[in-house]
Amino acid sequence: MELSKLKIIVTGAGGGMGAHFATRLHEAGAKVAVGDVNEAGLEKLPSGIFKRKLDVSSEDDIAAFTQWAHEQMGGLNGLINNAGILRDGLLVKKDKATGEIKKLSKADWDAVIGVNLTGATFMVRELVAKMLETGEKPGVIVNISSIARHGNRGQSNYSAAKAALAANTVTWAKEFAPYGVRCTAVAPGMVETPMTQGMNQKARDALVAAIPVGRVGVPEDLWLAVKFCLECDYFNARTIDVDGGLSM
């Protein structure tokens, strides 16, 4: 699909990759509606982009946002499912000094699953439902998964959500094919964003050392993959790893 023909939602656009994707789409002539809980971040985006607070952990908020985006852009035919959070921690850990057993909390599990999987799923549901209601086609979805979907220490919640999102990329591509909607995914490795900048420095250094290209990714690296997913009408039901060769 030509970028200039897109009427597309970008979630998690208050900063980092989401803000970069929204800006690039706007520059290419697409109509773009963005959402995030970080309203201050949204206001930093270029004028001409439609902006509204969005909490993807709220089913009602997702439905209202999708309807609003459709009205603002005069239609909907795309989604970049980018919103995500981290609540890292080992599932079970024994303190070496005290012997205390610490467990990943249900609150941290639920928060990550609620945003990264349930929220992403309902965003897809509402987008496609609106497209079917209005008869608009073709359409395209880009889910932002992660290479953590292969499994990563201290990320049981995040890995589970991102693995499920990659699996459902295949599921949804099959389900939505009769309606002319492609479903794709991009899986970043370590990317320079506000979320990764808060990492423990020792862990960050170890990760960077394991990246064969010798550097952390930047949002533009991921945009190139997202752009391919949007533009290549023969690409469907697959996840692209963009990780510099990193193996977790």
Residues forming the active site: 158
d(CA 56, CA 53): 10
- Give CA separation, 133 vs 41, 127, 128, 130, in Å: 32, 10, 8, 5
